[in-house]
Amino acid sequence: MPSDLSTSLQYLKGVGPKLAETFAKRGLFTFEDALYYLPRTFEDRRQPTPIIRLVPGLKAVVRGKVVDSKWTGGRGRRQFEATLKDASGKPLTLHWFHTVPSLKDEFVLGREVTVYGEIHFFRGRLQMNHPDFAGGEVISPEFSGVLPVYTSPENLSQKVVRKVVRGAVESSMPLIQEPLPGAMLERLGLCDLKTALKMHHFPETVPDAPTLRRALDRLIFEEFFVFQLGLLLNRERRALAPVMQDSSGVNELVKSLPFALTGDQERAISEITRDLGLPLPMTRLLQGDVGSGKTVVSLAAAVMAARSGYQTALMVPTEVLAIQHFQKARELLKELFPVLLVHGAEKMVSEKVASGESKLVIGTHALFQEAVRFHRLGLVIVDEQHRFGVRQRRELIDKAAGVPHLLMMTATPIPRTLSLTLYGDLDLTIIREKPKARLPIRTRMIFERDRETLYGAIRKRIEAREQIYVVYPLVEESEKLDLKSAIGMFEELKKVFQGASVELVHGRMASEEKERVLDGFRRGAVSVLVATTVVEVGIDVPNATLMVIEHAERLGLSQLHQLRGRVGRGTKASECFLVSKVPTQRLRILVQSDDGFVIAEEDLKLRGAGEFLGTRQSGGTGFRLGDIVRDGRLLNTAHEEASRLLVEDPGLEKPEHKILKKMVETRWKEKQDFVTGG
């Protein structure tokens, strides 16, 4: 028996360091890991099948007498063959292609043996290749009954895997204590832990699907529940965030705006300012489609922080966007306080941040730099949050002396199940209403051969003194090549539209140069802006009315939608042209819909949840059994139950929660890396 469940599998009898290493590669390090290493299916070996009833493809147990056994195969390739007969009188050939000397001693003429394997039809005979076998008298539990079938690490045989897992589970059983309160199990209709594990590892019968599902649900629920408790407990243990009480500046800002806020914007501001006034750290996601006016909402929050004596850091994914936010904020907040843009580690800049003179500091990951030290950081705003990794956000949060409030903004809807796993409890504010006077954007597909039509459309816009984006996607693997073709396109457009101002902007350019070009575009001095996807997020030029996306088939739906959102921001009718070689389903969706929520959902469907969630958002969600998409309902229940339990017993101090608390603490340590500040 292991001393506790975190003991390395290496100490299981019959498993040495080498075998343990093989299991470790599959994520099986400890006895506990083995407990939750569930079989993928079961084999029913309880009843032998008479040979006469065997058919090819069937996996069966056969019991019979050895009537013949011999070495076969010539020229150095020794093979072994034995023939069994049972009461039905029909023969079954057993065949080994490469062989073990002991076979001859096992399959002695006249002996009664039991074998298991898949039946083939070979040269007019029924045959079983490399069967699993046991002597007639003693049939070990590793051979008979209903056997679990596990995914094999490396190419270990099922026999070995089964033996190790079985051994580990069996010897762990005395250590297993039920962590979940009995009343909860009863209320949710879940079975206890030992029953769930036994049903998987030592089934007495082949469990039917609903029964198995219930046992699995129990284990997945436990996994989610323990994790949610960890998140919530951790959150409660955090230090308090600053209480901000001076909202006078918010009204001043709102009055000074050149437009009236939409109802949703007003609601968003009031939810956020309410949060800022509470000592509980805010973790709020502001979700609103492209162009729904999230920026001004976040500025209102920054104003509240500033008036209350705290600094705000606004983090954005690209420098271009940083510059734009900076200009916008400076313009809107000029009456209120100075705003600072962090470029590099310029000394003067750092001093202004450190002294607290700068109330709102805007930048990209440059904000993470060691040299940047805040005086009193009270609010962190992350724009286009989906573009940042969990770790990056955490680094910024750690810059605050205490715990800052956190406001994230996104145009890409995050499924609730995902936010629950990443943040535990994320408050959500959704802006659905778009600012008035926004005209729909007409979207169409354009194929290579229609380039003249495209140029005609561009020319018309130039003549009307409107502005045009031509986007060239850079794909990481072929960045250099793509950049070359973006430059090529730029040269061509310059030639085609002689007399008009055509400029190029891309991520590799020096930032002063970038700024110069973008500034020209913003002022209307540049008509056609050829750009890489650096303009994807946030750029706001109301006079731009045509978006051309070259190689549109290379981009994801949400990305295309974001790009398209760069136009249609003013009062003139805008268009978006998706240039591609072939029409694709993705592009069609875009032509049909302008609703970011619909598009995100379609994107999820097309790309599959795994990819949508896994790679972009979290790098895998790190659950052993649970799948946050498939088991979303269980995750929600787990979250509710965890909140409920903590109301009843805030620190999990009650004696009946002792086992649970220990489990939460152990597992939390392993998971921590993976979760954001929330």
The residues of the shown chain that bind Mg ion, judged by CB under 5 A, are 538
Choice between 28 and 290, CB closer to ligand ADP: 290
Q: Does 566 bind ligand ADP (CB under 6 A)?
A: no
Q: What is the nearest approach in angstroms of ligand ADP to the Cβ of residue 563? A: 12
CA trace torsion 204, 210, 216, 217 (10° rounding): -150
β pairing state of 427-431 and 441-447: unpaired
CA distance 673 to 199: 33
**413: nearest Cα among 601, 266, 675:** 601
- Contact of residue 265 among ligand ADP, Mg ion, none (CB under 5-8 Å per partner type): ligand ADP
Which residue is closest to ligand ADP by CB? Answer: 293
Q: Is 323 helix (H, G, I), strand (E, B) or coil?
A: helix
**Which sign does the torsion angle of CA 362, 368, 369, 371 carry?**
positive
**579: nearest Cα among 474, 453, 482:** 453
* Residue 613 burial (10 A CB sphere; 0-12, 13-18, 19+): buried
Q: Is 612 helix (H, G, I), strand (E, B) or coil?
A: helix
CA trace torsion 428, 429, 433, 439 (10° rounding): -80
CA distance 110 to 26: 43
Q: What is the nearest approach in angstroms of ligand ADP to the Cβ of residue 289? A: 7
Choice between 433 and 492, CB closer to ligand ADP: 433
Q: Does 262 bind ligand ADP (CB under 6 A)?
A: yes
What are the distances in angstroms from CA 555 to CA 386, 454, 579, 656? Answer: 16, 20, 11, 53
Choice between 107 and 326, CB closer to ligand ADP: 326
CA distance 611 to 614: 5
Choice between 294 and 657, CB closer to ligand ADP: 294
Contacts of 265 (CB under 8 A, 6+ apart): 293, 296, 297, 431, 433
Residue with tokens 């709020």: 284
- Contact of residue 393 among ligand ADP, Mg ion, none (CB under 5-8 Å per partner type): none
Choice between 230 and 293, CB closer to ligand ADP: 293
Q: x-or-dash pattern for ligand ADP, window 300-319, by CB under 6 A?
A: --------------------
Residues between 194 and 213 with contacts to ligand ADP, criterion CB under 6 A: none
Q: Does 570 bind ligand ADP (CB under 6 A)?
A: no
- 362: β partners: 314, 341
CA distance 98 to 589: 56
CA distance 275 to 245: 10
Residues between 425 and 484 with contacts to ligand ADP, criterion CB under 6 A: 435
Q: What is the nearest approach in angstroms of Mg ion to the Cβ of residue 315? A: 13
Which of 30, 83, 114, 295 touches ligand ADP (CB under 6 A)?
295
Residues in contact with ligand ADP, counted by CB under 6 A, come to a total of: 17
CA distance 77 to 307: 86
Which of 117, 293, 317, 677 touches ligand ADP (CB under 6 A)?
293
Choice between 193 and 407, CB closer to Mg ion: 407
Contacts of 178 (CB under 8 A, 6+ apart): 192, 193, 194, 659
Q: Does 261 bind ligand ADP (CB under 6 A)?
A: yes
Which of 127, 265, 385, 545 touches ligand ADP (CB under 6 A)?
265
Q: Does 568 bind ligand ADP (CB under 6 A)?
A: no
Question: Hey, which bits of 472-620 come out as E strands?
Answer: 502-505, 528-531, 544-549, 574-580
Q: Which stretch binds ligand ADP (CB under 6 A): 12-20, 48-56, 132-140, 288-296?
A: 288-296
Q: What is the nearest approach in angstroms of ligand ADP to the Cβ of residue 587? A: 22
Q: Does 290 bind ligand ADP (CB under 6 A)?
A: yes
- Contact of residue 324 among Mg ion, ligand ADP, none (CB under 5-8 Å per partner type): none
CA distance 486 to 473: 8
Q: What is the nearest approach in angstroms of ligand ADP to the Cβ of residue 603? A: 18
What are the distances in angstroms from CA 360 to CA 42, 281, 299, 382, 630? Answer: 61, 19, 9, 13, 42
Q: Tokens for 501, please give them.
A: 């101002």
Q: What is the nearest approach in angstroms of ligand ADP to the Cβ of residue 262? A: 5
Q: What is the nearest approach in angstroms of ligand ADP to the Cβ of residue 439? A: 13
- Contact of residue 473 among ligand ADP, Mg ion, none (CB under 5-8 Å per partner type): none
- 623: β partners: none
Which of 281, 291, 363, 378 touches ligand ADP (CB under 6 A)?
291
CA distance 514 to 340: 19
CA distance 387 to 240: 28
- Contact of residue 291 among Mg ion, ligand ADP, none (CB under 5-8 Å per partner type): ligand ADP
Which of 294, 393, 522, 564 touches ligand ADP (CB under 6 A)?
294
Choice between 433 and 665, CB closer to ligand ADP: 433
**410: nearest Cα among 398, 394, 426, 391:** 426
- 579: β partners: 446
- Contact of residue 540 among ligand ADP, Mg ion, none (CB under 5-8 Å per partner type): ligand ADP
- 149: β partners: 41
Choice between 229 and 322, CB closer to ligand ADP: 322
CA distance 167 to 596: 52
Q: Does 535 bind ligand ADP (CB under 6 A)?
A: no
- 499: β partners: none
Q: What is the nearest approach in angstroms of ligand ADP to the Cβ of residue 291? A: 5
- Contact of residue 296 among Mg ion, ligand ADP, none (CB under 5-8 Å per partner type): ligand ADP
**H-helix or E-strand containing 117?**
strand 112-122
Q: What is the nearest approach in angstroms of ligand ADP to the Cβ of residue 469? A: 15
Q: Does 69 bind ligand ADP (CB under 6 A)?
A: no
Q: Does 256 bind ligand ADP (CB under 6 A)?
A: no
Report yes or no: 86 and 64 within 8 Å, Cβ to Cβ.
yes
Q: Which stretch binds ligand ADP (CB under 6 A): 242-250, 291-299, 451-459, 666-674?
A: 291-299
Q: Does 327 bind ligand ADP (CB under 6 A)?
A: no
Choice between 321 and 530, CB closer to Mg ion: 321
- Contact of residue 318 among ligand ADP, Mg ion, none (CB under 5-8 Å per partner type): none
**293: nearest Cα among 252, 263, 337, 316:** 263
Q: Does 292 bind ligand ADP (CB under 6 A)?
A: yes
Choice between 290 and 675, CB closer to ligand ADP: 290
Q: Does 296 bind ligand ADP (CB under 6 A)?
A: yes
Q: Which stretch binds ligand ADP (CB under 6 A): 114-122, 286-294, 421-429, 455-463?
A: 286-294
Q: What is the nearest approach in angstroms of Mg ion to the Cβ of residue 566? A: 11
Q: Does 569 bind ligand ADP (CB under 6 A)?
A: yes
Q: Is 4 helix (H, G, I), strand (E, B) or coil?
A: coil
Binding site for ligand ADP (CB under 6 A): 259, 261-262, 265, 288, 290-296, 411, 435, 538, 540, 569
